[in-house]
Amino acid sequence: MPPPGGYRPISFKRVPPVSYFSGAAMIGGYIGMIAGAAYLYVQNCKAVTKRELETKGASLALYPMLLAERDRAFLKQLRINREEERELMKNVPDWKVGTWYGEPIYLGADKNTYFKPDIAEFYAHSSYEELKKRVDFRFWC
């Protein structure tokens, strides 16, 4: 049952929103925020450029040393391969290391000419797993 005197009337009049800032104040605030953001961007950009320059300088300084270490490891492995071949074929008559029964592998080449070995030849005395890791590594880098 309704209360005595009835229900209050339903308010359906438009309630206008309260305006806190004028249009000029909003545009001024927007310009101020953009100016502050631009200032912070320039400051950050200088710091990032400085950091990138330092990183690039460090990598350029280390690159020759890394190349030398890679070449050194390559030559060590070639020496290990040669010694392994010598040990493996020591009982074979007329076998000279680096040749095929005394015949040079590369005919007509100067004795001082270097030929980079094939990857299978380089890993000939290693496990198959090491060869697989190296071949797979090439595809992921």
Q: E strands along the chain, which residues? A: 99-100, 103-104
The backbone region for 28, taken as left when phi is positive above 0, alpha when psi lies in -120 to 50, beta otherwise, is alpha
Q: Domain spans of the chain?
A: 24-135
Tens digits of residue pLDDT in 109-139: 787 888 888 888 888 888 888 888 877 765 6
Structure tokens at 104: 């040079």
- The token duo for 130 is 């090491």
Which one has a higher pLDDT value, 111 or 34?
A: 34
Asked if residue 73 has pLDDT above 70, the reply is: yes
What integer is the mean pLDDT of 27-38?
Answer: 98
Q: Which amino acid is at 1?
A: M
Q: What confidence score (pLDDT) does residue 84 get?
A: 93
* pLDDT(11) > 60: yes
